[in-house]
Amino acid sequence: MRRARTTLAVSVAGAMLVALDGTVLTVAYPTLRHDLHATFAQVQWSSTAYLIAVAATGAALATRLPTGTLAPVR
C-alpha cells in the first residue's frame, strides 16, 4: 500500500511540474519575443523543442530503470 501511495504522489508531482512548466513558458512568450527579437512562431518552436527534450529525458530514464520501479507491476 505504501508503494502505491508513493507512486501516486510521484506521478501527481510530475504532472504538476509539467503543467507549471507549460504555464511559465506561456507567460514568458512576450518577454522572450522582445529580448530575442524573435517572432511568435520562433518562440513556439523553441519551447516545443524544450518540452520534447524534457519528455525524451523522462522516457530515457523510464527505459533504463527496472520494470516496476516507476510504477508497480502486478
pLDDT in tens, 21-70: 888 888 988 998 999 999 989 988 988 888 788 778 877 777 776 666 65
Please report, for the chain, the start and end positions of each structural domain, with discontinuous segments joined by +. 18-62
d(CA 17, CA 14): 5
Global confidence as pTM: 0.56
| Spatial contact of 43 and 33, defined as CB atoms under 8 Å apart | yes
- Reported as a pLDDT band with limits 50, 70 and 90, residue 17 is confident
